[in-house]
Structure 1
Amino acid sequence: MKDQKPWVKPALELGPVMLFFLVFVLKRGETVSLWGQEYGGFILATLVFIPALALATLIQWRLSGRLAPMQIATLVLVVVFGGLSVWLNDPRFFKMKPTMIYLLFAGLLGFSLIARKNWLQAVLSEALPMNADGWRKLTLRMTILFLALAMANELVWRTMSESTWVYFKTFGLPLVLFAFLIANAGLFKAHALPQGDGEGKG
């Protein structure tokens, strides 16, 4: 596996989202005729986003040799819900996609707590070495976070304008996740493993 430049991973992760946002902003309020069907800017942006995300995911896999379960689940749900939106010319399915993703993640993390399995640790331990107690606390907090994000997404897309949802999805959700990481800096420090230690037991 070749060493990746530090900008490659963020570019592949953010590129499809920013492409969706750009197409939506440029075509907002317009209609485009494709295959004998009239599509609005939102559906057109969705149509561009699906292959862009698939391509970015493929490139990440070719560069790293592996994909995180979260990446695979996200791609599958984007293809399913985004495809339904394009096929039925109905943006509601794509707007529901984040809700499904967050509920899926919350369910998996919640089950890992009940089953006493450190699934989050298994995925992120190399990047964030902590002891088992730290991983249990972080898993609980992330379960609550994903449930809150699912509810927030439902509230925004059902009660606010399409443009508001796009801005919320493109900028609001990443900012919430960033704020969550900053807010948990104390937990990361308190439960960090001493340098040279392996993964925490648990």
Structure 2
Amino acid sequence: MTDKKAPHPKPQISPVIRLLIDVGPLLLFFVVDQMADIFVATAALLMACIASFAASWTMMRKIPVLPSVSLLFVLIFGSLTLLLGDEEFIKIEVSITNALCGAFLLTGLLFGQSFLKTAFGEVLEVDDEGWRKLTLRLGLFLIAIGILNEAVRHITSNDLWVAFRVYGILGLNCLFFFSQIPLIKRHMTEEEDAPAE
């Protein structure tokens, strides 16, 4: 008789902690910018992003793909902002990160791959057609955010751009994901009930 070990349950993070990890660095960025300037805020953002990533890793024991990409770009462009004393680097980071992530998703579709499904397939039970549509829409949305950020950073002050970065983009993301709920519901897959013994 073989003794099978029960699989370890995956660690879970409460929604409040998850929200603090995801949004906390941006809120800190906004608050510090209001109290000091964009350079001090950028330094705070870098430290907060590293702390959030470390907290996520400690709690989940898993490297999240998309937050890892975002952290990498924030570290690169945030460091350039501080080293060169040019706030345009931290501003353009938003454009580059979103546009590249969008292009990455769309390129995957060209080769028949939904990287969105790879990242979130364990969270959402959606069929392949649903994942394809979600990936297409998110890819286009991210590229649009990159273009919009380029427009905003050229026509507004630093403080207004920071407000847009924190609240404008966050609001647009919320609107986008809420708008996808009908699509997700249409393509939800239902697990078949186990036969009664």
| Length-normalised TM-score, structure 1 | 0.87
Task: Tell me how far 1:125 sits from its aligned partner.
Answer: 1.4
- Amino acid corresponding to residue 154 of structure 2 in structure 1: R
Aligned equivalents of 1:3 and 1:184: distance in 2?
A: 25
1:120 equivalent to 2:116? Answer: yes
Aligned equivalents of 1:185 and 1:167: distance in 2?
A: 27
Task: Tell me how far 1:6 sits from its aligned partner.
Answer: 2.9
Q: 1:12 aligns with which of 21, 26, 36?
A: 21
1:105 equivalent to 2:101? Answer: yes
Kindly provide the CA deviation profile for residues 87-134 of structure 1, in whole angstroms up to 9, marking residues without a partner as x.
011100000001111111111101111000121111111221110001
| Length-normalised TM-score, structure 2 | 0.89
Equivalent residue runs for 1:40-119 within 5 Å? 41-119=37-115
Q: Which runs of structure 1 show a deviation greater than 2 angstroms over 4 or more consecutive aligned residues?
A: 1-6
Unaligned runs of 5+ in 2: 1-9
Kindly provide the CA deviation profile for residues 7-54 of structure 1, in whole angstroms up to 9, marking residues without a partner as x.
111111111111111111112xxxxxxxxxxxxx11011011101110
Kindly provide the CA deviation profile for residues 123-177 of structure 1, in whole angstroms up to 9, marking residues without a partner as x.
1112211100011111111111011000000000011111111111100111111
Aligned equivalents of 2:172 and 2:11: distance in 1?
A: 32
- Amino acid corresponding to residue 6 of structure 1 in structure 2: P
Task: Tell me how far 1:2 sits from its aligned partner.
Answer: 4.7
Question: Which residue matches 1:36?
Answer: none
- Aligned residue pairs, count: 184
Q: 1:196 to 1:95 in 2, by over 3 A?
A: farther
Aligned equivalents of 2:72 and 2:186: distance in 1?
A: 36
Aligned equivalents of 2:23 and 2:102: distance in 1?
A: 22
Task: Tell me how far 1:196 sits from its aligned partner.
Answer: 4.8
Question: Which residue matches 1:37?
Answer: none
1:181 equivalent to 2:177? Answer: yes
Question: Which residue matches 2:7?
Answer: none
- Amino acid corresponding to residue 60 of structure 1 in structure 2: S
Question: Which residue matches 2:132?
Answer: 136
Q: Secondary structure of 1:7's match?
A: helix
